[in-house]
Structure 1
């Protein structure tokens, strides 16, 4: 029996949505504060996903300059991908500007169109159904203006983005909090409405209802929820925000988000990840996901034509004139803050006045932490000429929760420092003189600790300090993202004069060896 393991896309890849075109599958996830926005993946087996790039690659498609309250993530929430009449459509909400929109392309790798904004909509988590009769239904959640909580729907003119009917409340869910992430399907003459409830935390669940009419009334599945790992000891928790897809062989599958907490600590650092499970249908025509509604770490692959596993570890030596698809900026980058051409084979960062502590866009290029046990390394060539200039390697959750090891200049001397920011507490916990122009900066992570190191080229690494993973967990830091490893530079209040050059970046996943509860408690 062939099996596969979850998550199928590890690390911060929440709110997955999937569609099939022939024997090819395409999947998108939320990207929140990061740019480019909406990573898009391709698979031939639903298990092994390779990133094609991003849907939103231009600032005109994804402005990220909004200022939301502390603890919120900005940017892109809950995209849906669908294919119709030769076009791919991705519909979503940019919470920074509080507008929903869609883009389209004839090729999944793009380029994608400019946004078509939904006139008169106002809700979040929008989804599309291209019905058999030629109508297009827009389904989403409560708007920004205080209307009753529930799932709303209208008919949409897909060419213009205008509503062809009034917004109508079609279902309030089963009573769980925050009914959201709806998808409407037409299957065997029924309209099925699938919804996430319970909040995207440990009470998360997926429920479903059906009707003979697109607008209901909707009959709730008597066996709801069809997916939830709440109140179980399963290693995957907070399962929900799902999307259904029928495979080429006729079988049904479900992609959904979930988290992998650290042992029994009920905290997680990798963010909400993309998982997969089979879907079974009972004699009454109701679906159940996974093992009778439970998502497992390992599931039977059925007849899926399993291909070669994806290699998540990479060494990027920056020889291309384009960034690899794993990289993101934090919000919209300042164009002159980075370059792959200024020094051939190196990534150049030019520090801006803003720092990692600010709700702006620092000189920052990072990638998701996708594994609990991991080694990261980069070679930095940086000779700061002005006090306060700084460049280094960060473990970054958001502007209020991050650790960094960096080279800087202080009182005319070149130094290495380790800084930790935990909420309102900012402290340089270690500092040492360092006169060499080049330094190898490293991070080793396990479930409990980040260990930050430095080394002169050809020398053994030296530990400069550590930081607990717990303080960068979503449960402490808030928001909806996961941890990033990032190369960064800053002038600490003014634009830096000296560029920082990064020669390579290694991301090396280690063998997954989960710690037991007592080991974690002894190290915490």
Structure 2
């Protein structure tokens, strides 16, 4: 049965925790990257030929020298980024929050149009003087590189200048500025102007921002100038994209990036969320990536959210770990997958505690609103659904029993247990909420099961961003529970077998 077509206005082109999208085109090929925060490897990279069907081809920051661990805190790590193509190379610039190196730039040579999955990203160039987040790279016709970012300039005496949207002419080899950086357009007056992207389009330079905060007031604004440094003229129709104060099922729209298509049209990727439950409503998958068409009217972009329809790619998978190495989907919070799991000869994973102060989990993103997942263990193991270390529900299989556990903030509870043999299948599912009252109606219930025995049914609101705060989304994690933990198989599927 074919997958029904959906509108890109209501269904993400990349679902689950894939925020802060940044896109560029090289010929017929499109490349898309995202923030990943504390999860390593960082900055998942996708490829497409049509802007709606995307395949992950790598993680840009796959070496610790590119993504220094820093303090490893939840919602630290890799923030907003920019991906661009210039002079035969892809460039990626980002902020590693929690490690005081300013901005981070890596690049990869595009040898041919068929080497998408074999990109080798360089060691980083750091820009220590640029203190802040959400950096952007752009080049003028003379080859001058402009770094634009949100934050401040670090001064020689260790202080910082005033916060704002800053820009400087960058020496890409050294990470230094050719001249002192300067402030540019500060936005339309909404809160938190950030996420600048600078474009040369025709005879003008355009500066695109996110404003209003990444919550319900999130918006996209734009201004234009004759030179990269301004002065900038704001669009009279700002914000050019927002869903604030509307009943639209997709909210928090913002942090956009423009791209010219291969046929000369324009499009934009942007982040948004799909909230559910009673007021104030709760989003659980994190910020996802959506797509809109763009028309140019009187020299300004007009977003057409209904332009694209598509059949979503399947999200379900089963992994028995027989490929000899971990797939690209597997990441680790504040650690590294190789410290947590080793692929066994013939399949399966040996799991261990990395003893590095991290949660010790191997994780995959939840991509659907209703889903079920199972982890088949031998000996021992743990399986959980989480937003962060303090907001998680899970099952622990050890010493011949499976126990359901929950942590909400500073409270941890054991909820029930069942005897288990030398192997156990642990299941977690997101199902429709069974609320006793209107005010208890959440986005879902989470059901924890071991070998067919239901051990807990828990309120999904507590594993939402509105409760946990932060910038990530739900992840499914597996880890060791003592010694001898073997993961034989992991399976994830949307509840209806297709898409949410």
Q: What TM-score results when the alignment is normalised by the length of structure 1?
A: 0.86
CA contact 1:138–1:156 (8 Å) conserved in 2: yes
Maintained 8 Å contact 1:149/1:179: no
Give the match for residue 386 of structure 1.
none
Provide the C-alpha distance between the structure 2 equivalents of 1:3 and 1:369, rounded to a whole number of angstroms. Answer: 20
What is the CA-CA distance between 1:232 and the residue it aligns to? Answer: 0.3
How far off its partner does 1:396 sit? 1.1
1:203–1:214 CA distance, 2 compared to 1 (3 A): same
CA positional deviation for 1:264: 4.6
SS of 2:130's partner is: coil
Instruction: Please list the CA deviations of residues 138-184 of structure 1 after superposition, one character each: whole Å capped at 9, or x if unmatched.
Output: 11111376533321100112232221121100111111111100000
Correspondence for 1:449: 445
Whole-angstrom distance in 2 between the partners of 1:336 and 1:310: 31
Does residue 38 of structure 1 match 2:43?
yes
Conserved 8 A contact 1:338-1:363 = no
Post-superposition CA distance 1:464-511 (Å, at most 9, x none): 112211001001111100010111124xxxxx4x22111111111123
Could you tell me which residue of structure 2 aligns to residue 9 of structure 1? 14
Name the residue aligned to 1:508: 493
Answer yes or no: is 1:406 the counterpart of 2:391.
no
Alpha-carbon contact 2:339-2:354 (below 8 Å) kept: no
* Aligned-residue offset at 1:335: 4.3
Query: What SS does the corresponding residue of 1:471 show, helix, strand or coil?
Result: helix
Task: Check 1:38–1:470 CA distance in 2 against 1; reply closer, same or farther (3 A cut).
Answer: same
Stretches of 4+ moved more than 4 A in 1? 512-515
Task: Tell me the alpha carbon deviations over residues 305-349 of structure 1, each in whole angstroms, 9 at most, x when there is no partner.
Answer: x7x7522211111001221111111122274532003x5311110
Q: Tell me what 2:285 maps to.
A: 270
Counterparts of 1:352 and 1:84, CA distance in 2: 39
Specify the SS of the correspondent of 2:133: coil
User: Which residue of structure 1 lines up, in the alignment, with residue 438 of structure 2?
Assistant: none
| More strand by percentage | 2
Distance in 1 (CA, whole Å) between partners of 2:497 and 2:200 is 41
Q: Does 1:425 align with 2:416?
A: no
- In structure 2, relative to structure 1, the CA distance for the partners of 1:3 and 1:504 (3 Å cut) is closer
Corresponding residue number in structure 1 for 2:386: 396
Three-state SS of the structure 2 residue aligned to 1:470 is helix
Give yes or no for the alignment of 1:300 onto 2:304. Answer: no
* Paired residues of 1:351 and 1:499 also in contact (CA < 8 A): no
Matched, 1:132 2:141: yes
Q: 2: distance between equivalents of 1:425 and 1:258?
A: 30
- Count of residues in Structure 1 that have an aligned counterpart in Structure 2: 470
User: How does 1:277-316 map onto structure 2 within 5 Å?
Assistant: 277-282=292-297, 284-290=298-304, 295=305, 299-301=306-308, 309-316=312-319
User: What secondary structure does 1:430 align onto?
Assistant: strand
Output the CA distance in 1 between the equivalents of 2:198 and 2:271: 18
Check 1:19–1:353 CA distance in 2 against 1; reply closer, same or farther (3 A cut).
closer
Report 1:307-456 matches (<5 A): 309-333=312-336, 335-341=338-344, 343-352=345-354, 360-382=357-379, 391-409=381-399, 414-434=400-420, 436-446=421-431, 447-455=443-451
* Mapped partners of 2:406, 2:446: distance in 1: 11
Q: 1:249 to 1:264 in 2, by over 3 A?
A: farther
2:263 to 239, 249, 260: 249
Q: Give how far 1:96 is off.
A: 1.5
Distance 1:67 1:84, change over 3 A: closer
Separation in structure 2 between the aligned mates of residue 141 and residue 327 of structure 1, nearest angstrom: 30
Instruction: Give runs of aligned pairs for residues 211-222 of structure 1, distance below 5 A.
Output: 211-222=225-236
Q: Is the CA contact 1:372–1:512 (under 8 Å) kept in the aligned structure 2?
A: no
Structure 1 gap segments, 5+ residues each: 355-359, 384-390, 456-460, 491-495, 516-524
Instruction: Please state how far the C-alpha of 1:100 moved relative to its aligned partner.
Output: 1.0
Residue ranges of structure 2 left out of the alignment (5+ in a row): 111-115, 432-442
For the 8 Å contact 2:94–2:135, the answer to whether it is kept is yes
Q: What is the aligned partner in structure 2 of residue 84 from structure 1? A: 86
